[in-house]
Amino acid sequence: MTMSRHATIPELEPTMSEHAPSSGLPRLLEGVPAQGAMTLQAHLDTHGELPSARRRDQRGATALIDQIEQAGLGGRGGAAFPTAKKMRTVAAGRGKPIVVVNATEGEPASLKDRTLLETLPHLVLDGAALAARAIGADEAILCVCESAGVGLEHSARAISERERLPGRWPRIVLSTAPEGYVVGHESALVSHLNGGAPKPTFSPPMPFERGVRRRPTLVNNAETLAHVALIARHGPRWFRELGLSDQPGSTLVTLTGPLSYPGVYEVEYGASLSSLLDAAGGTTSRVRAALFGGYAGTWVDGGALPSLALSNAHLAPHGASLGAGVVLLLSEDACPVAETARVTRWLAGQSAGQCGPCVHGLDTLAATFEQVCGGAAPSHATARVEQLAALVRRRGACSHPDGTARFAMSAVDVFSEEFADHARHGACDACARQSELPLPARTRIATAA
Amino acid sequence: MSERLRLNPIACEAHGMCAELLPERISLDEWGYPILDERPLSPDLVSHAQRAAQACPTFALLVERERSRG
């Protein structure tokens, strides 16, 4: 089985031991400590020295971009944009470039970046330093959500530990960002780091053209840079030993739902969903559907899950993608209509409040779902949802309305029976049950311990 | 070289002037925000589009030269 599990958060349990040694996994999660963060020394013992500490010439640095390109690394923040292409664009920009490590992870159903910072911060910091050097930047800003607690603490400690590293490395500074779903959008992060509101901006200029301090800015997700740290050490061929030709390597997946061991897992692209569920100790109740990619993502009906594999190519026929690696199972005990209404209301509340169609459209969308849930919806409610989704798509400065529209449309599609039932008979018994889909209020309580 | 309409949705405050001045390409949604037809503007519409852009109180409507793709 090609899979490795990291303990759930916040209660760090021992990692599962039974992964086949031949599987090539874990990679990122190799030696992940059961408690606390891996120290710099343990990190170097596990993964080896930083490669360009040995060859410091500039050619060695830019060669990393070629290696990343050959590895076929795609961004892990959700959009899967080719990392090397982004790096080249920033490196070719006007002025001294700068790196921003996006570890804000505003997606409530994602815990992978936080897990990396809490347990393996040096992987992320290696990647940040290597990427900065490769594009000719002298500084990388690690941007973490202000509510990250342990993640922040461990990041700060890890950054100070790195003063002991031999050689000259680009400076890494820690910066916090406020909580919020749209804060992690590149332009919002850049605006925040420039002293402005943490809200998406109208582009151009794009961050890669003119971003933090008006410099060409490379914004990379934390996990993306963790992979860079390993590609720099082992090369592109090694990276491609796992995964698929069009989506190579491994990925972190945050798996949530009715499972014995929900948590953050490292899987190879193309692994079967059922092998992941097995690694999580199996499901504890029947699964109605799975949401892929988080709350800007897409539902896939439970019936399609047994044959499903974890890659964008396998998910594409279902209109879904892995996004930032979120797999959320909804049990048959839950009411999908109530869950959809609750999450859509939350998404509406996460609008930055800047663009009219987003402000009004998402609010109306949430209200429509609430009416359906209460049985007070007009008969054409589903058509109304479709109309609203079309009205908000591509009409914001960022993709928040588009993501919400996707989530809403896929809910109406996959849960069509439940929606029809609510339209006819009003609230169901399951409506009143405790909700399953995680939203930040609950996450925050859980991580406060 | 052709021109297209583009909207800065952050700046737009739904005054609706643009839809009055360029109904051929701009309609308003149920909240009063413009819905643009973003296909290239035909030559006879360019001056009307520019007038609509100038009339926007928040300068949210833009007439953009299509950027050459390389």
Strand partners, A261: none
Q: What is the arithmetic mean of pLDDT over A295-309?
A: 97
The total of structural domains in chain B comes to 1
- Whichever domain contains A409, its CATH number is 1.20.1440.230
A355/chain B closest Cα distance in angstroms: 5
| Amino acid code (one letter) for A180 | G
User: Nearest residue of A to residue B9 by CA position?
Assistant: A355
User: Nearest residue of A to residue B13 by CA position?
Assistant: A356
pTM attached to this predicted model: 0.92
Contacts 24+ apart (CB under 8 A), B31-39: B31/A356, B31/A357, B31/A360, B31/A361, B32/A356, B33/A356, B33/A357, B33/A360, B33/A395, B33/B9, B34/B7, B34/B61, B35/A391, B35/A395, B36/B5, B36/B6, B36/B7, B37/B5, B38/B4, B38/B5, B38/B6, B39/B4
Q: Across the interface, do A357 and B33 touch by the CB < 8 Å criterion?
A: yes
Going by pLDDT thresholds of 50, 70 and 90, the confidence category of residue A315 is: very high
* Same domain as A291, residue A148: no
Contact A333, A433 (CB under 8 A): yes
Q: What is the arithmetic mean of pLDDT over A353-365?
A: 98
* Same domain as A267, residue A118: no
Lowest-confidence segment of A113-117, A355-359, A421-425 by average pLDDT: A421-425
* DSSP H helices in A207-252: 222-239
- Whichever domain contains B13, its CATH number is 3.30.70.20
Domain with B27 in it: 3-65
The answer to whether residue B70 is domain-embedded is no
* Same domain as A75, residue A185: yes
* Same domain as A109, residue A38: yes
* Same domain as A208, residue A72: yes
* pLDDT, tens digit (0-9, with 9 covering 90-100), for A240-282: 999 999 999 999 999 999 999 999 999 999 999 999 999 999 9
The answer to whether residue A151 is domain-embedded is yes
Question: Taking 50 as the threshold, does the pLDDT of residue A21 lie above it?
Answer: no
* Same domain as A113, residue A257: no
The answer to whether residue A283 is domain-embedded is yes
* Same domain as A230, residue A259: no
How would you class A17 by CB atoms within 10 Å of its CB: exposed for 0-12, middle for 13-18, buried for 19 or more?
A: exposed
Contact A343, A439 (CB under 8 A): yes
Question: Taking 50 as the threshold, does the pLDDT of residue A185 lie above it?
Answer: yes
What is the distance of C-alpha A385 from the center of its chain?
27
* Same domain as A235, residue A100: yes
The answer to whether residue A23 is domain-embedded is no
Q: Across the interface, do A202 and B33 touch by the CB < 8 Å criterion?
A: no
Give the Å distances, CA to CA, from A40 to A36, A114, A126, A336, A369: 13, 18, 10, 45, 50
- Cα A157 to Cα A117: distance, rounded to the nearest angstrom: 11
Going by pLDDT thresholds of 50, 70 and 90, the confidence category of residue A58 is: low
The total of structural domains in chain A comes to 3
- Tracing tokens 């899979």 back to the chain, one arrives at A3
Q: Does A196 touch chain B (CB under 8 A)?
A: no
Domain with A351 in it: 336-432
| Amino acid code (one letter) for A28 | L
Q: Does B44 touch chain A (CB under 8 A)?
A: no
